[in-house]
Chain A
Amino acid sequence: MRKNTGILRLMKNKIKIFRAMHNLTQEHLAQAIGVNRQTILAIEKEKYIPSLDLAFKISRYFGVNIEEVFIYDEKTPTLMPA
C-alpha cells in the first residue's frame, strides 16, 4: 500500500550550473566520479535521485557542500479549487 504523507518531496540539483562554471562535459564528470554519462544526464534531468555516496562525490568534486548542489525541497500540496 502506498503511504501518503501529504508532503511532496522534490530533489533538485544544480549539477548543470556547476558543470558550466567548471567548463565540464557530462562525460568528463562521469569519468571523474566513476559512473556512466547517462547517469549524470538522468540526475540533471531529475529522473534519478543519486545515493548519498554519489551526491557527496559530486559535490566534493566541485569543492562545495552537498546542499549547494542538491536541494531537498519539501512542499505541502495545496488543495486545487473545484
Chain B
Amino acid sequence: MKKNTFFLIVGCIALALLLIFWYSVEIHAPLLIEIAFFVGIALVYLAKRKVTDIINDERDVKITEQATMRTMQVFWVVFCAFSIGAVMEILRVPAFPRQAIGTRPPDILPPRMMGYVQLGLLCLMIFLYVGFRIYYAKKYGDFEIDEE
C-alpha cells in the first residue's frame, strides 16, 4: 500500500468517527463512540502495517523515543497535580459545625467538568508530543539543508 492511500484511509476513518460521535451524542450512547474509537484505531494500526513506502529507520525510532520520554516526563507531573486535586475533592470533609446544604462551597472540579479536563489533558499531551518531536527532529538533522 502506498503512503498516500494510507493517509486517505486515515482521513476516512476520522470522518466516520466524527459521524459516529455525532450519532452517539444524538442517541446518548457513549459506549458506541468508545467502541468505534477502539475499532478505528485498530484499523489505522492494521493499515499502517501494510504501507510499503515508509521507512522507519533507527533515527526515526530514536526521535520518537526521545519525544515520548520527554512528553511523559512533563505530562505525568501535570496529570498528577490534577489527580491530587480530584482526590482532595473526593476526600473533602465538611467543616465543623456542619454546613447547611445551601451554603456548601462550589466544587473545585465538578464531576461534569472532568470530561473537559480530560480532553484538555489529552490536547496538552498531543501538543507536548508534537513540540518535542519537532525539537528532536531538528536536533537529529531533519531540517538540514541538502547540498545535493
Contacts and interface: CB of A to CB of B under 8 A. Distances in A.
B86 to A, nearest CB: 33
Contact of A38 (B58, B142, B148): B142
B59 interface: yes
Interface in A27-68: 34-36, 38-39, 41-43, 45, 47-48, 50-51, 53-54
A50 B140 contact: no
A81 to B, nearest CB: 31
Interface residues of A, number: 17
Contacts of B62: 48
Nearest to B58: A51
A34 B59 CA distance: 12
B141 A42 contact: yes
The majority secondary structure among interface residues of chain B is: loop
Contacts of A42: 59, 140-142, 144
Contacts of B142: 38, 42
Given A25-B148, A26-B148, A34 B55 contact: yes
Interface string B133-148: 0000001111010101
A56 B59 CA distance: 16
Q: Which 8 A-B pairs have the closest CB atoms?
A: A42-B141, A47-B141, A35-B57, A39-B59, A48-B140, A45-B144, A36-B55, A39-B57
23 contacts: A25-B148, A34-B55, A34-B57, A35-B55, A35-B58, A38-B59, A38-B141, A38-B142, A39-B58, A39-B59, A39-B60, A41-B144, A41-B146, A42-B59, A42-B142, A42-B144, A45-B144, A47-B139, A47-B141, A48-B140, A48-B141, A51-B58, A53-B58
